[in-house]
Amino acid sequence: MIMWQHILFPVAVFLFFIWSGNWIVVHLVAICYGKWKLHRKTSAPPSATGFPGVSILKPLVGVDPNLTSNLETFFTMNYPQFEILFCIHEDGDPSIKIVEQLRKKYPHVDCQVFIGGEKIGANPKINNMFPGYKAAKYDLLLISDSGIRMKEDTLMDMVQHMTDRVGLVHQMPFVCDRKGFPAAVEKEFFGTVHARFYLSAEFYGINCCTGMSSLVRRSILEDVGGLQTFSCYLAEDYFIACAVLSKGYKLTISSQPAWQNAGSLQISAFQARVTRSVSTINIFYSKAFYPSWARLRYAMLPHTMILEPVGECLFMGLMGAWAAHILFGWSLLAFFLLHALIWFILDWILLSIVNRGGMPMNKFEFLICWIFRESSVPYLYLLALCVPAIRWRTGTYRLRWGGKVNEATSDI
């Protein structure tokens, strides 16, 4: 018994230290940094003629109910010089009609359409964008997914962050307000656990780039072989960011989040998006939610299989409660409930900061969404470990260690 006490005591000290440090290292850092970074206002100078031109790569496949309004926000941006390069998956895609309608409505906007893509690797997004990439006129490239909605000053804000020492400006993923429980859960996810890790990683200088909305220097991509260099990866955004860092440039996030505004969401669709197991959902260019991102992270950075669960409320609470019980004799249940309450309050504060315009739901609705997501973490974690494939609309892909991907020969 004494021998076990000698073993358990230092383990408990170590785990309690991790539990205690988590509140400062992750939670408080995310809240303070988010408040400072995400609430800065964009102020364009009286003369904006000195701003560089931007080529916007817009990959499209299929349509959703909000596609027209989302795309229209790119035509109405307050920025002096930009072009929109629509890269459409195949001829006959219904998005072609929407794009043509917008081109007629805004004839003054520099816009081109490329259909069919070019097969240069396994990554379907890069295959689709490659013709537009080759035709881009400007050095600054904005890669923007189909479900992203822009504000009038979003591009101005991103370009202002592109200083001489910065090579890539990315936006923290978030979602627009939508009705329904699945949409509320999605909002809770992006505004709490995802925002917490994203903001704290950005603060510590860790590569956390997601490519749903990112501004990058084309000259850097050309120095490493062009966009096609990253076609062997499914998480091309992460490796593009690595290339930027390798050239001595910095990464930074914009003061505005990436406003995802896809179509209406049902529980079944929400679960399909989480697991990427249903090909009828239009998620061709979206890397949202835990299992898909987790599979990519585990393939690229295997050590995150062990480290990542520690950052979740359930795992951290059980670990801290056990350590406190061993060290101080405190009640396991009381400690865990107090831990969960503090975690809940800090998540509520963080969501109010990320949302920028106040809370999108009341405390009771947030509580239900919070409990639902937190309780689903073990299932999603095991799913990410046990299913090595990711299914996108155009096929199924198997991940290899190092982040490279192969197209699977059959459905899984």
Provide the annotated active-site residues.
237
Say how far apart CA 399 and CA 191 lie, in whole Å.
Answer: 28
* Two structure tokens written together for 330: 């405190």
Say how far apart CA 339 and CA 330 lie, in whole Å.
Answer: 13
∠ at Cα 314 (312, 318), nearest 5°?
A: 120
Q: Going edge to edge, which strands form the sheet with 250-253?
A: 110-115, 82-88, 54-60, 140-144, 213-217, 166-170, 250-253
| Count of alpha carbons within 13 angstroms of residue 166, beta-carbon side | 18
Parallel, antiparallel, or unpaired: how do β-strands 213-217 and 405-407 relate?
A: unpaired
3 state DSSP class of 103 = helix
Question: How many residues are listed for the chain in this entry?
Answer: 412
Strand boundaries in 231-311, DSSP class E: 250-253, 258-260
Say how far apart CA 355 and CA 350 lie, in whole Å.
Answer: 9
Q: What is the CA radius of gyration of the chain?
A: 22
Q: What phi and psi, each to the nearest 5 degrees, are found at residue 58?
A: -120, 90
Neighbours of 5 (CB within 10 A): 10
Say how far apart CA 371 and CA 366 lie, in whole Å.
Answer: 9
Rounded-to-10 torsion of CA 148, 150, 95, 391? -10
Say how far apart CA 126 and CA 123 lie, in whole Å.
Answer: 6
